[in-house]
């Protein structure tokens, strides 16, 4: 039996993780956590009988506690709840599928408690990678990537000497607006931005894919996961999303992982690594596909990607500001309070406004986040 916990169990990655649990009887769920979807969390509690479950929202947690009185599951809430879940004694692997920087503290807590991390929550690594990676090394904890590109890179590194890596080729679908110019993007609605061509995901990451900020976050995530400098990470637009990423070695050989776009594969790979469990689903049919194509990313139109490289080169607290400004701007866009193109304008403004701290601790990371949000809120009220 492998005992797992899931932060963000009601979301896109969380629910797909639970599908994998349904298909693998040797996985047991011992803890779940979600933001506010009490109805779905209740269903999950009844199906998987975890020892504990947490809701961020205190009131919703209090209501849920009454509703599931007949079950043995303890109901927790707020940050305290997330931290307790992250450190539960019996849990071996924590799937971090929560969205945003809120994942920093629970992820650190889980590493301190020696839990293996199956990491989907990229915002945590982008902002606190300089703390998390050394801490995991010190505690002998594995961080296994769930993000499809990083899983592909990781799979392409098995049995290889990492010193011989010459380049990481991070593939990108290009999102729903690939090929369009800035002028074509002024009237983009929330509905347009939420139509991703190849993947069905949570709203925030879907918008991030449309701005290419997601690819920028992934470049930073790759730097931390694989210890590769930004110059060695190249983004390649590959609209079919069949090649999930590649690694080029010193002799020119390129290793890649291919498959249908289905997040269950990287999630399951992280849960059973180094085993590769069977999985049902459509297979790649090369005759049906016939062509795989590649393009250079258009960083003039999609400035989010260029700004991510800038933030990464600057280092310190700048990736936090890049990420925090994006989190705030995307939620404003989803609330229809700003236009699509303003997301990157706000990120740029927040970065220009920030004085970098070289090696921020968790509290300083959260301060930098608050400053970025204040900056954006200030611009909104003007
Ligand atoms: P989602 O919006 O579908 O789900 C987010 C989950 O986090 C939900 O269960 C929500 O309840 C929970 N949550 C949000 N705030 C919370 C809080 N304060 N406390 C507790 N729980 C909270 O998002 P998603 O698409 O599943 O993405 C999750 C993470 O995985 C993100 O960091 C995303 O970038 C990353 N990721 C997702 C995909 C994908 O295919 N969806 C692929 C790669 C990486
Ligand atoms: Mg990805």
CATH code at position 365: 1.10.1740.10
Same domain as 162, residue 296: yes
Cα(155)–Cα(245) distance, integer angstroms: 10
Six token digits for residue 321 = 């500001």
* Domain limits for position 24: 2-145
Average pLDDT score over residue span 318-339:
98
Average pLDDT score over residue span 147-169:
98
Same domain as 137, residue 154: no
Establish if 253 belongs to a structural domain: yes
Task: Give the ligand 1 atom nearest the CA of 204.
Answer: 2
Same domain as 320, residue 246: no
Q: Whose CA is nearest to atom 16 of ligand 1?
A: 35
In this structure, the chain runs to a length of 382
From ligand 1's centre to the CA of 121, what distance in Å? 7
Q: Is pLDDT at 58 greater than 90 in this prediction?
A: yes
Establish if 372 belongs to a structural domain: yes
Establish if 380 belongs to a structural domain: yes
pLDDT in tens, 7-55: 999 999 999 999 999 999 999 999 999 999 999 999 999 999 999 999 9
Cα(264)–Cα(254) distance, integer angstroms: 24
Cα(272)–Cα(266) distance, integer angstroms: 10
Q: Which of 346, 156, 183, 166 is nearest to 269 (CA)?
A: 156
From ligand 2's centre to the CA of 107, what distance in Å? 19
From ligand 2's centre to the CA of 218, what distance in Å? 7
Residue 86: give its domain's CATH number.
3.40.50.720
Average pLDDT score over residue span 239-265:
98
Q: Which of 11, 217, 220, 216 is nearest to 99 (CA)?
A: 11
Q: Is pLDDT at 333 greater than 90 in this prediction?
A: yes
Establish if 342 belongs to a structural domain: yes
Evaluate the CA torsion angle 215, 219, 224, 226 in order and state its sign.
positive
Same domain as 15, residue 85: yes
Q: How confident is the model at residue 197 (pLDDT cuts 50, 70, 90)?
A: confident
Please give the tally of structural domains in the chain: 3
Same domain as 291, residue 160: yes
Same domain as 341, residue 227: no
Task: Give the ligand 1 atom nearest the CA of 205.
Answer: 34
**CA-CA distances (angstroms) from residue 57 to 34, 35, 80, 82, 109?**
9, 6, 12, 11, 20
Establish if 18 belongs to a structural domain: yes
Cα(144)–Cα(62) distance, integer angstroms: 34
From 29, 53, 120, give the residue whose CB has the most ligand 1 atoms within 8 Å, as the site to mutate: 120
Side-chain half-sphere CA neighbours of 259 within 13 A: 18
The Cβ of residue 226 has, within 10 Å, a number of other Cβ atoms equal to 18
- The response to whether residue 104 sits with its C-beta less than 6 Å from ligand 1 reads no
Same domain as 184, residue 87: no
Same domain as 177, residue 108: no
**CA-CA distances (angstroms) from residue 374 to 118, 134, 204, 213?**
32, 30, 20, 21
Establish if 307 belongs to a structural domain: no
Average pLDDT score over residue span 284-301:
97
- The response to whether residue 51 sits with its C-beta less than 6 Å from ligand 1 reads no
Same domain as 354, residue 328: yes
Q: Whose CA is nearest to atom 13 of ligand 1?
A: 35
| Boundary residue ending a domain (101, 118, 145) | 145
Q: Whose CA is nearest to atom 39 of ligand 1?
A: 201
Residue 382 confidence (pLDDT): 81
Same domain as 231, residue 296: yes
Ligand number nearest CA of 201 is: 1
pLDDT in tens, 91-123: 999 999 999 999 999 999 999 999 999 999 999
| Boundary residue ending a domain (95, 119, 145) | 145
pLDDT in tens, 201-235: 999 999 999 999 999 999 999 999 999 999 999 99
Residue 199 confidence (pLDDT): 85
Cα(89)–Cα(91) distance, integer angstroms: 6
| Boundary residue ending a domain (88, 118, 145) | 145
Same domain as 138, residue 182: no
Same domain as 195, residue 103: no
Establish if 274 belongs to a structural domain: no
């Amino acid at each position: 039996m492998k005992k797992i916990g899931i932060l963000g169990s009601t979301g896109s990655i969380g629910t797909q993780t639970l599908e994998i649990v349904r298909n693998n009887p040797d996985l047991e769920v011992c803890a779940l956590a979600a933001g506010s979807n009490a109805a779905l969390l209740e269903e999950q509690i009844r199906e998987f009988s975890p020892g504990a479950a947490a809701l961020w929202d205190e009131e919703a947690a209090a209501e849920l506690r009454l509703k599931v009185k007949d079950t043995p599951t303890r109901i927790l809430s707020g940050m305290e709840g997330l931290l307790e879940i992250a450190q539960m004694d019996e849990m071996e692997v924590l799937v971090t599928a929560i969205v945003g920087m809120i994942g920093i503290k629970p992820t650190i807590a889980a590493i301190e408690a020696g839990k293996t991390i199956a990491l989907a929550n990229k915002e945590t690594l982008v902002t606190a990678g300089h703390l998390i990676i050394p801490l995991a090394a010190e505690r002998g904890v594995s961080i296994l990537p769930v993000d499809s590109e990083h899983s592909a890179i990781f799979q392409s590194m098995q049995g290889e000497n990492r010193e011989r890596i010459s380049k990481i080729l991070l593939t990108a679908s290009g999102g729903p607006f690939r090929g369009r110019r800035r002028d074509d993007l002024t009237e983009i609605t929330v509905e347009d931005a939420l139509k991703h061509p190849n993947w069905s995901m949570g709203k925030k990451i879907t918008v991030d894919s449309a701005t290419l900020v997601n690819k920028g976050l992934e470049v930073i995530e790759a730097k931390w996961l694989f210890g590769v400098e930004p110059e060695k990470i190249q983004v390649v637009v590959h609209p079919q999303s069949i090649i999930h990423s590649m690694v080029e070695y010193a002799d020119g050989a390129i290793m890649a992982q291919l498959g249908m776009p289905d997040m269950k594969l990287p999630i399951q790979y992280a849960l059973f690594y180094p085993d590769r469990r069977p999985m049902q689903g459509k297979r790649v049919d090369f005759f049906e596909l016939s062509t795989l194509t590649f393009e250079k990313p258009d960083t003039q139109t999609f400035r989010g990607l260029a700004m991510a490289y800038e933030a990464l080169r600057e280092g310190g607290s700048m990736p936090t500001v890049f990420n925090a400004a994006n989190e705030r701007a995307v939620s404003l866009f989803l609330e229809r309070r700003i236009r699509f193109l303003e997301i990157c304008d706000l990120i740029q403004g927040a970065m220009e406004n920030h004085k970098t701290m070289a090696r921020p601790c968790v509290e300083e990371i959260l301060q930098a986040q608050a400053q970025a949000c204040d900056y954006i809120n200030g611009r909104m009220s003007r």
